Amino acid sequence: MKRRAAREKAFQVLFQMDINDVDPKEALDHVLENEKPDEFLSDLVFGVVEHKEDIDSRISEHLEKWTIQRLASVERTLLRIATYELFHGEEETPQGVIINEAVEIAHEYGDDKSGKFINGVLSKIIQ
């Protein structure tokens, strides 16, 4: 599975978990329809779950007039994935690639302003 596809699948899994409060394994099975997840996808899903408190704290520090709970699930989920990758993921992935992928997925699943919002918050986080 290509990394873009893995990020999108991770988004679907984590979004489902955010909305329905389901177990990561169950959400993965549902999204993949019982296919075996690749290592990168598993790392994203279980990494976000494991580091959620740190990730949410980092995101919250860079939100103006918002709390993480008030964010739409699409934006919250994409920010969590990208923040995980930026601070806990593989070091060889350039920050620009991580941000760009999050913005592109936001354009696909969010509203007209989602990509710009994601880009703004992640740009603040990496400064």
- Find the CATH number of the domain harbouring 55: 1.10.940.10
Q: Which region, left, alpha or beta, applies to residue 112 given φ > 0 means left and ψ of -120 to 50 means alpha?
A: alpha
Helix 39-50 and helix 3-20, axial crossing angle in degrees, nearest 10: 40
**For 17-44, what is each residue's pLDDT tens digit?**
999 988 998 888 889 986 888 999 999 9
Burial class (CB in 10 A: 0-12, 13-18, 19+), 94: exposed
**Helix (H) or strand (E) run with residue 91 in it:** none
pTM for this entry: 0.94
- The pLDDT score that the predictor gives to residue 118 is 96
| Count of the separate structural domains present in the chain | 1
SS3 track for 47-80: HHHHCHHHHHHHHHCCCCCCCHHHCCHHHHHHHH
Give the DSSP letter of residue 112.
T
**For 37-94, what is each residue's pLDDT tens digit?**
899 999 999 999 999 999 999 999 999 888 999 999 999 999 999 999 999 987 788 9
Range of the domain at 86: 3-126
Closest CA to 13 of 36, 29, 35: 29
